[in-house]
């Protein structure tokens, strides 16, 4: 009862209710919230601290910033938010201002990729059949899952595709520009109650062993300095009997991709993937190939129950 009373007291203030409503729709940093609410950073920081301490919000560090969002177990927060009138003028104005900020962040991120001479959508730039690849990947994932992790989430497209079949979908990426695009997608699609993103290193995921029922590595490994280590870390956070899907380029002779697109590897064959999966305690099922200008293969695997992995998560 004490925890419930603490959460109700923390929410019982107009500014904190507005903060809850905003962060339920999209993860936002303090500077974004200052822009939306027109209040000082020290004032909002105090409100946010109270909400985090009460368990109504969680703080996710990202470089020099921190983003605030509803935690996975946000039952009380959602109950409170369900009682707020959708047509409240202040809440409506807050939503419009937050949408404007998200759009500005997404435009800035897209401009950053264009200035670097690259498209943020690699499959589109390479002419790959993204729809067929996505359909094949979805077909290999479980019909229902409690928690899914998308490593190298990019623009968060996979999170959008699985939002109606998982309780919680989390995407991680090292690029802050990509995360800005993903957050904008999550907000626009209205899936923040099921999907979220955060910055993380794929070699040192900030999650406990066995935290996810399904893990995806889509078009990531060809950028990895150490693909075997990336696969091992993905397997570590996978629950026993959980599903791991690797989707990447099949072996090819396009040496220009190694220079122009900074690929580290010219695709992967089944033997290499099977070896890395086996060393990580996963059994490989039958791969699927999607033809195109560059063939893409999908390798589905299952985590072996009882496999001992000596490595541990490192908190960020």
Instruction: State how far the Cα of 119 lies from the Cα of 115, in Å rounded to an integer.
Output: 10
Residue 304 CB burial class (10 angstroms; 0-12, 13-18, ≥19): middle
CATH number of 2-104: 1.10.10.10
**Encoding tokens for residue 10?**
């923390």
Residue 283 CB burial class (10 angstroms; 0-12, 13-18, ≥19): middle
pLDDT digits (tens, 9 = 90+) for 158-203: 999 999 999 999 999 988 888 888 998 898 898 998 999 999 999 9
The beta strands (E) that lie in the chain are given as 28-29, 58-62, 65-69, 145-151, 166-173, 195-199, 212-218, 238-249, 282-284, 288-290, 296-303
Instruction: State how far the Cα of 48 lies from the Cα of 60, in Å rounded to an integer.
Output: 12
For the chain, which residues make up each domain, given as ranges?
2-104, 122-152+202-303
User: pLDDT-based confidence at 157, cuts 50/70/90?
Assistant: very high
CATH architecture of 122-152+202-303: 3-Layer(aba) Sandwich (3.40)
Mean pLDDT score, 131-156: 94
Q: What is the pTM of this model?
A: 0.78
């Amino acid at each position: 009862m004490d925890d419930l009373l603490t959460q109700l007291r923390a929410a019982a203030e107009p500014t904190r209710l507005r903060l809850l409503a905003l962060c339920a729709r999209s993860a936002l940093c303090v500077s974004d919230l200052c822009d939306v609410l027109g209040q000082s950073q020290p004032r909002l920081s105090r409100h946010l601290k109270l909400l985090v301490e009460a368990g109504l919000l969680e703080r996710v560090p990202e470089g020099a910033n921190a983003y605030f969002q509803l935690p996975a177990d946000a039952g009380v927060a959602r109950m409170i938010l369900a009682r707020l009138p959708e047509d409240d003028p202040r809440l409506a104005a807050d939503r419009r201002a937050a949408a404007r900020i998200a759009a500005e962040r997404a435009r800035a991120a897209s401009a950053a990729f264009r200035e670097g001479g690259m498209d943020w959508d690699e499959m589109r730039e390479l002419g790959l059949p993204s729809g067929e690849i996505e359909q094949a990947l979805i077909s290999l994932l479980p019909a229902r899952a409690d928690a899914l992790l998308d490593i190298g989430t990019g623009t968060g497209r996979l999170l959008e595709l699985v939002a109606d079949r998982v309780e919680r979908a989390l995407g991680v990426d090292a690029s802050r520009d990509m995360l800005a695009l993903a957050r904008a997608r999550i907000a626009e699609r209205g899936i923040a109650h099921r999907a979220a993103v955060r910055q993380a290193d794929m070699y040192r995921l900030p999650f406990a062993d066995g935290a996810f029922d399904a893990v995806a590595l889509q078009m990531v490994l060809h950028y990895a300095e150490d693909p075997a280590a990336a696969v091992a870390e993905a397997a570590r956070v996978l629950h026993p009997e959980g599903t791991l899907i690797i989707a990447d380029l099949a072996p090819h002779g396009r040496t220009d991709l190694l220079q122009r697109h900074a690929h580290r590897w010219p695709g992967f064959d089944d033997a290499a993937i099977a070896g890395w999966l086996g060393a990580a305690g996963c059994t490989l099922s039958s791969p699927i190939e999607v033809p195109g200008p560059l063939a893409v293969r999908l390798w589905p695997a299952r985590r072996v129950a009882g496999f001992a992995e000596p490595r541990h998560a490192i908190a960020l």
